[in-house]
Amino acid sequence: MKLLVTGGAGFIGSNFTRYILQACPGVSVINLDKLTYAGNLENLADLADHPRHAFIHGDICDRRLVGEIFSRGVDAVINFAAESHVDRSIVDASPFIETNVRGTQVLLDAAAEYWKDRFGGRAAAGAEEPVIFIQVSTDEVYGSLGPEGRFTEGSPLKPSSPYSASKAAADLLALAYHRTYGLPVVITRCSNNYGPYQFPEKLIPLMITNALENQPLPVYGDGLNMRDWLHVEDHCRALELVLFRGKPGEVYNIGGHGERTNLEVVQAILKHLGKPESLIRFVKDRPGHDRRYAIDPSKITRELGWEPRHKFEEGLAATVEWYIINRSWWERIKSGAYREYYQKMYGAI
Ligand code: NAD
Ligand code: TDX
């Protein structure tokens, strides 16, 4: 099977590429990535000479390039490519609309054309419809929860940030291509991921790397916002199941009952590192900050047999260890263009 993985030089995409090549000897990966500030070929360094991995530097918005890739033969697409950071979307929504909405539309167009040309727009009689397109989405499309309840696949879409609004738009487009053209699309909505190779603008790696440098840890608002943490490898395994056994037209929520307040997460990191809580700084809240996310994953568990394997405390300890061992990886990032962004966001805290 030839898989087109987009955004495969980012955090989840690079973990997925490594995972699927190892888990499935019959799968080869074409990895299309624009290498934005968040894309990093160092995330794929160990796969550079892998015989089943080919990297293409390019943009998912480039219809000609995407068409050319399809014409060389693609069995399925997993679309990770996105602008992914909420805070950046609040500063400037434009790249979010361009990549997350228009880029997804370009990929859907190419996939729909290919689906029509190769399969006449429908699976062979008697054959189960294969999944051709996985749109990797997020629980943020559902907006914020109150103190009770969990997001199900039927929860209304109420995105709060330009980022989550762009992801919701892409989800709706993908579902529309299923309805209109019969394109076998599946949407996955996963909760917050953590693990190796996560860009240090996101909560967990930002807090680990700042603490390692004895720098202040900026916690938004009262620190009591809740996120539902899932180890990236558990997300990758869920995507593998969806790819081979998912039902076209369906949405699958992915989450591992890993609810923690931000403050609990930050305190746990400091404890692992033996650093003092006096490093914590409560700073101005994020505008439109969602209070609580929690996923009900019972559909993917019931229908595809998925269960998370990583316990949060153990996964977090291993992640802290990864950032200690891979100091040069994040030091290179933090000393580059990212430094300017950090100054603008956090100033002198
Ligand atoms: P990331 O920012 O680490 O990586 C995104 C990758 O996409 C980068 O390599 C970047 O270069 C690439 N990219 C951006 N624009 C592109 C374009 N126009 N063409 C080609 N490549 C482009 O993001 P991530 O955290 O790995 O997230 C991956 C996907 O998973 C995103 O779609 C995100 O919405 C979704 N998601 C993330 C989380 C999370 O907790 N990180 C949770 C749920 C869903
Ligand atoms: O400096 C910070 N201080 C802080 O308190 C940062 C960067 C974040 N936070 C808070 C905001 C959130 O409540 O931590 C929580 C997590 O923040 P992020 O790491 O920015 O993640 P979040 O906004 O929850 O979005 C993430 O999960 C869903 C990903 O970035 C998205 O791509 C994914 O869709």
Q: Which of 59, 140, 250, 290 is catalytic?
A: 140
Superfamily name with CATH number, domain 2-191+230-255+289-309: NAD(P)-binding Rossmann-like Domain (3.40.50.720)
Reduced to 3 states, what is the DSSP secondary structure of residue 261?
strand
What is the rounded distance in angstroms from the CA atom of residue 6 to the CA atom of residue 100? 12
DSSP annotation string for 121-187 = TSPPTTSPPPP-EEEEEEGGGG----SS--B-TTSPP---SHHHHHHHHHHHHHHHHHHHH---EEE
Q: Report domain extents, the chain.
A: 2-191+230-255+289-309
**Which residue is closest in CA terms to ligand 1's atom 13?**
81
Q: With beta carbons less than 8 A apart as the criterion, state whether 58 and 70 touch.
A: no
163 is catalytic: yes
Q: What number is the ipTM of this complex?
A: 0.99
140 is catalytic: yes
Q: How far is the CA of 273 from the centre of ligand 2 (A)?
A: 21
Q: How far is the CA of 282 from the centre of ligand 2 (A)?
A: 15
Q: Which ligand is nearest to the CA of 160?
A: 2
**Which residue is closest in CA terms to ligand 2's atom 15?**
203
- Residues with Cβ within 6 A of ligand 1? 6-7, 9-13, 32-36, 38-39, 59-61, 80-82, 84, 99, 103, 136, 138, 167, 190, 192-193, 199
b (16+ CB within 10 A) / e for 222-241: ebebbbbbbbbbbbbbbbbb
Half-sphere exposure of 323 (CA within 13 A, CB side): 28
342 is catalytic: no
Amino acid at 106: V
What is the rounded distance in angstroms from the CA atom of residue 307 to the CA atom of residue 323? 26
Q: What is the pLDDT along the chain (349 residues), one digit of tens a residue?
A: 999 999 999 999 999 999 999 999 999 999 999 999 999 999 999 999 999 999 999 999 999 999 999 999 999 999 999 999 999 999 999 999 999 999 999 999 999 999 888 878 776 666 678 899 999 999 999 999 999 999 999 999 999 999 999 999 999 999 999 999 999 999 999 999 999 999 999 999 999 999 999 999 999 999 999 999 999 999 999 999 999 999 999 999 999 999 999 999 999 999 999 999 999 999 999 999 999 999 999 999 999 999 999 999 999 999 999 999 999 999 999 997 778 888 888 877 7
